Structure 1
Amino acid sequence: MLTEPRRRAYLSAMQVVHWLPRAELPFAAPSRPELLLPVAPVEDIDFEVRPAPAANQPAPAAPQARSGERPKIEIPRPGSTAKPAAKPAEAEPEAPAPRPAPVPPPRFSLQLLRAGSCLLLVELATGQPFQSRDPSYLLLKDMLRAAGLPDAPQIIGEPVRWPLLVRGNMDQGPDAARDFVQGFIQARLEEAPCNCLWLIGLPALRFAGNADAHTYYQVLKLDGLGDAWALPGLELLMDEPQRKADVWKAMRQLMARWKSVE
Structure 2
Amino acid sequence: MISEPQRLQYLEAMGLTGWAARYALPNARPTPACEWEVLAAPVAAPPGERLHALLDEAREQPAAPRSEAPAQERVARAPRPGKARAALLGETPRPEAPDNAAEEAAGPVARSAGEALRFAFQIACLEGRWLIVLTGEQAPGRPQLMLLANLLRAAGVESPLPVFQDFRWPLQEGLPVHEPLEEAREGLKAFIAGTRRRGWAPQRLLVFGQEDALGRVLSLADGHCPVLDLPAWQGPALAELAGSAEAKRAMLPQLLELGKAWRDAVAKAPDEC
TM-score scaled by length of structure 2: 0.46
Structure number with the higher helix fraction is: 2
TM-score scaled by length of structure 1: 0.48
**Rg larger in 1 or in 2?**
1
